[in-house]
Each structure stands twice: as C-alpha cells, then as structure tokens.
Amino acid sequence: MSDAKPTAETTIDPGLSPDGERLAVGFCRVLRRAGLKLPATATINFTEALGLLGLEDRGAVYWAGRATLIHRPEDLNLYDRVFAAYWEQRLGESISIDGTPPPVTLALDIADDDGGQEHEPAGDVQPVRFSSTEVLTDKDFADCTREELAELTRLMSHLRFTTHRRLSRRYIPVKGIGDRPDLRRTVRWALRHQGEPVKRAYSGPATRPRRLVLVVDVSGSMESYARALIRFAHAAVVARSKVEVFVLGTRLTRLTRHLTSRDPDSAIRSAMPQVKDWAGGTRLGDGIREFNNEWAIRGMGRGSIVVILSDGWDRGDPAVLGSEMERLHRVTNQLIWVNPLKATPGYAPLAAGMAAALPHLDLFVEGHSYASLEQLAAILAGAGRQVSR
C-alpha cells in the first residue's frame, strides 16, 4: 500500500520530501477506498502537518492524521485499522499508540472572577472554548434569570427574516421571453428599424412584498414570555419591510410605529407606555374580532402571513374566538399560532380558546425559547422562498 502514486488533488507541502508526499497522499487514498469520506482539504492539511512533524515518529504521524482526517467518533476504528495496515504492515489489526491524547481544557466564554487574570495550566494543554449562550438557547424563557433573558433578547438582533414576495396584478418589462408580448415596446423598437419588428419585447407579472402581522398576547398568563416575544417582534420590524405588530390582552393595541427604532431598548421603552393592559386579563375572541373588523378584513390581513403568539387561555366565549379565527383564516395567506406551552411534556390543546382556534390554523408551533423562535424565523423565511398567490 505504501507505494501509492501521488494525485493532483493536493498541494504539495514544501516541508515534506517527494517520497513523504506520496506516502501521505497514498494513505488518504486508501482511507477513501476503505469508505472514509475525505475532502481534498483534509489531504492538504494532513500533508502540511507531516511537513512540520516529519515521518520518523509514528505517534506524531498517527495524531496528525487523527487531527486532520477524522471528524466523527464512529470513524476511529476504521482509521486505526487502515493506519496499522498502511504504516505498520499489520493487516487486520488496530494501531496501538503509547501514551494518551493531549488533555483538553474546557473554558467558558465568560469573565473571570479573579479580575481577568489568566492562569496557564501546566503540561501540554489544548484549550477548547465555547460560549455560555449556547446553553441558553434551549432554556425556557420562564426559567431564565433577568441577566439570561437580557442575553437572549440581545441575540434576537441576529435572527434573519426574509421579505416575502407575492405576485402583483401589474406587469413589468422583462428580459427575454415573458408571459405575454409587450406591444408598446415592440412597436417602439420597430420604429427604429423602418417599421420592421426585428426585436420583440415581453412583459411579466411584478412582485411586491407580502405583509407579516404579529399579534402578541400580553395577558397575565403570558407575562413570563411577553417581553421576549415583543423583542422578537421588534427584530422582525427592523429586519424586513411590511411588518405590523399588535399586542392583545383585554384590548388590541398597535405598536408598529413605536418599534421602528433600531435601538431595541429605545423601541421597547417607547412601546411599553402604550400597553395599558399589560399582565391583565385575556379576551382573545374580542381582540381577534376587533383586529378583523378594524384591520385584517379591510386590507391588512388579505394575503398576509399572520402570526398569533399566545398560550390560548381566554376568559371570553370560545365560540367567538373560533368564528373570528375562521374569518381571519379566509383572508390570510398563512395563519400561524405560536404557543409557549406546546413544548411542555404531555401538552395537549385542551384550553377552550386554543381548542377553538386550532382547526383554523395552518401551523401550530412552539415559542418558549430562543431556539424555538429561531425555528419560527426559519419557517417565516421558508415561506418567502417562492412567490405565491
């Protein structure tokens, strides 16, 4: 196996002899034939590593390959068998390397308690750092401390929202062949060539942004989630066009104009005085009816994506909520309900309001953590990848 020919898939490292280069590239080729998926960059990295370490120490060669060629624990046994056969000519055996892998130190990406002084551990240590915010992404907003909630709301500014496009009734000039001939432009071009229609013009349907409407429940049962959800709504307002935000408790309040500031703290401070029923009662049915009568049916909801963020608890008549959700569903392009309680083990939509609204929804998703809101943003982005009705 050691006489494998070099290939053109790698850049030869100047620190390795031609024979060493052939050995390194041949080893990667044998690994591929054995079933290991290796990109060309892995071969380059392995060759460069051997150029620095040399081939005299088999242990160094082994760990160079482990570091540059292996990315999944399940591939270790295959790598050991191929290494033993290729470098040690021991078929059917696994390689045994004296010593243990270098120790790894895990360090949180947070401030030190000793005033920022760093202490270097003794020995050959490879530090691996990770951010503590990764632990928070799956944590329920209701279980977060004030500092953790502030960190998560700060991360929401990095969420990506796509401006959805919908077909318009208007037609615009297009290059090449479009949906229908553009007679006006065709005649205009023909006049430039003594009336001969040398070139034909076409037009196609224009597109326009699709509106996104967010309705956030700020009643007492949603108090643990409302601030994070309003921060999510602010991130959507500043990230894309044609976004409307309402809050709903015992009344319906429009907050779009107050959330236009790119500074989240300034936007929230401007919006909060407008919400007179924060952490109060819940009248979802009456609120959705007001939204339908004053905004949605008149035009805001037509062809829009409407997202209701609520736990579904309603003190009003569930029949009212059901009928109003049916009205809203008829005019929207997509009707989504985000419920923070859906992530609870054993949850079932047994609340009267949630049960009345469920038959009229296109999507029913979670909304209890940053990860769930990130998934919601991905769902909204996916809805805009194709131009639809």
Query: What is the per-residue DSSP string for 309-367?
Result: E-----SS-HHHHHHHHHHHHHH-SEEEEEEGGGGSTT----SHHHHHHGGG-SEEEE-
Determine the pLDDT at residue 1.
Answer: 43
DSSP SS3 for 93? coil
- List the chain residues with pLDDT less than 70: 1-15, 90-135, 382-389
CATH topology of domain 210-383: Rossmann fold (3.40.50)
DSSP-derived pairing of the beta strands 212-217 and 243-248: parallel
Q: Rounded to whole angstroms, how far apart are CA atoms 132 and 11?
A: 38
Q: Rounded to whole angstroms, how far apart are CA atoms 36 and 79?
A: 8
Determine the pLDDT at residue 98.
Answer: 46
Determine the pLDDT at residue 220.
Answer: 92
Listed in order, the ranges of the chain carrying CATH 3.40.50.410 are: 210-383
Determine the pLDDT at residue 112.
Answer: 45
- Among 257, 241, 237, 179, residue whose Cα is nearest residue 208: 241
Q: Rounded to whole angstroms, how far apart are CA atoms 343 and 86?
A: 51
Determine the pLDDT at residue 43.
Answer: 85
Upper half-sphere CA count for residue 240 (Cβ side, 13 Å): 25
Measured in whole angstroms, the distance separating CA 247 from the mean position of its chain's CA atoms is 25
Determine the pLDDT at residue 133.
Answer: 56
CB atoms within 10 A of CB 117: 7
